[in-house]
Amino acid sequence: MLSLLDLRARIDAGTLTPHGAVGLAREAIAARDDAVRAFACLDPRPAVAQEGPLAGIAVGIKDIIDTADLPTGMGSPIYAGWRPKADAPVVARLRRLGAVPLAKTTTTPFAFLDPTATRNPRHSGHSPGGSSAGSAAAVGAGMLPLALGTQTGGSVIRPAAFCGVVGVKPSFRLLPTVGVKCYSWALDTLGLFAARVGDAARALALLAERPGIDLVADTGAPRIGVVVPDFCDEAEADALAALQRAARAAERAGARVHDLSLAPLFGEAFACHPVIQDYEARQALAWEYAHHREALPPLLRAALDAAQDVGTDAYDAARRTAHRARRSLKDVFGEGDVDVILTLSAPGAAPEGLASTGDSRFNRLWTLMGVPCVTVPVETTGGGLPLGVQVIARFGDDGRALAAARLIERAVG
């Protein structure tokens, strides 16, 4: 895979130019994307900055994020060829840092569940996940060193795990969602994909203008609580084994590791996620539903049909439960002898076939809580499919989540 830090080190050493680094990405795309199908469109003549901390870094932009020089199609024929007049702020920030938004990556339509044509770069017969399918697959295939995605349920963490890359869902609103097609304003979160934890930490620190995210020192003995939520359907044996392998590796590296149980309130909050998501989605996509319902793909159309019956009383009650759970999660970190939580990224490896993007049940609670999440590749199944684990820290402690993820990454080799 292309590493952001490796490319930048070569540029700083004078052995690679920014044009040359972007050229490596373009060559990889030409060689591999016919099989992976990660891109909605490419910039044929990108402007390449010579200065900036991300000069020479080609970036994939999920195709629900506005770009002024490339179409933003939302994964839907309703927006085919649509050209925003302005970059989303996160894209403008990338350009100021010297990065090259080289391509729009595929998204499930409006970032819901109906799959794209993108294939898993590790096994073409399996799903890359979703909704940020193209971003995860492009990094996993070694075509880009960095890509942006979004998460409303599990749309960064899950595809990152399926494609064997690092995925980061930052603290809620750490990165601006202005210029991103909304599905749920209380849940939508910008995230990113990279080859390694260090690459992701550097990119997030620069995008958020918070250098401390990349400077959190390894504590040497982080306190890690291992969580297997009892309010979710059980995970597959391979995923549980990967979680235990990561926990034991972290312990050997000096971490203090113990099992952690969550109070029943978190199960109640987990059940509130779809209520909040559906209530807000029926408003966020009201125009598309009213004027183009038949052009919506089947899973999204059915979800919006059902969402018309979600009332304000249920929505307000769900928000109150979520708020209580967020306050209680502060106590888990504050009183539970825990610096970070280690849990599952997905129920198992990427599912076979392209009819499903997989299940987000091990992601939705943490999205609702607004806390930073990092998925780290741990191992592969006998069939060569990646398995990852998810590291979670308290709200605003993105640097600690990344530091613990880096410890696990090193520990598992």
- Residue by residue, DSSP assigns 255-283 as -EEEE----HHHHHHHHHHHHHHHHHHHH
CA distances 265 to 154, 176, 279, Å, are 20, 29, 21
**Residue segments in the chain with a per-residue pLDDT below the cut of 50:** none
Domains in the chain with CATH codes: 4-214 (3.90.1300.10), 223-265+317-412 (3.90.1300.10)
CA quadruple 1, 60, 104, 17: dihedral, nearest 10 = -90
Give pLDDT, residue 215.
86
Q: Which of the 8 DSSP states describes residue 183?
A: S
Q: Determine the pLDDT at residue 162.
A: 98
Residue 216 confidence (pLDDT): 76
Indicate the pairing of strand 189-194 with strand 223-226. unpaired
Q: How far apart are CA 360 and CA 225, in angstroms?
A: 21
* β-pair partners for 23: none
Residue among 317, 305, 306, 328 at smallest CA distance from 276: 317
CA distance 332 to 111: 31
Active-site residues, by number, are 62, 131, 155
CB 228 within 8 A of CB 258: no
- The reported pLDDT for the residue numbered 220 is 65
Residue 218, pLDDT score: 58
Q: Residue with structure tokens 């999205």?
A: 367
Q: φ and ψ at 306, to 5 degrees?
A: -70, -35
- pLDDT tens for each residue of 105-162: 999 999 999 999 999 999 999 999 999 999 999 999 999 999 999 999 999 999 999 9
First vs last C-alpha separation in the chain? 16
In this structure, are residues 187 and 368 in contact, taking their beta carbons and an 8 Å threshold? yes
**CA-to-CA distance for 204 and 401, rounded, in angstroms?**
12
Q: Is the full-model pTM beyond 0.75? A: yes
The span from the CA of 358 to the CA of 346, in Å, is 8
CA distance 202 to 199: 5
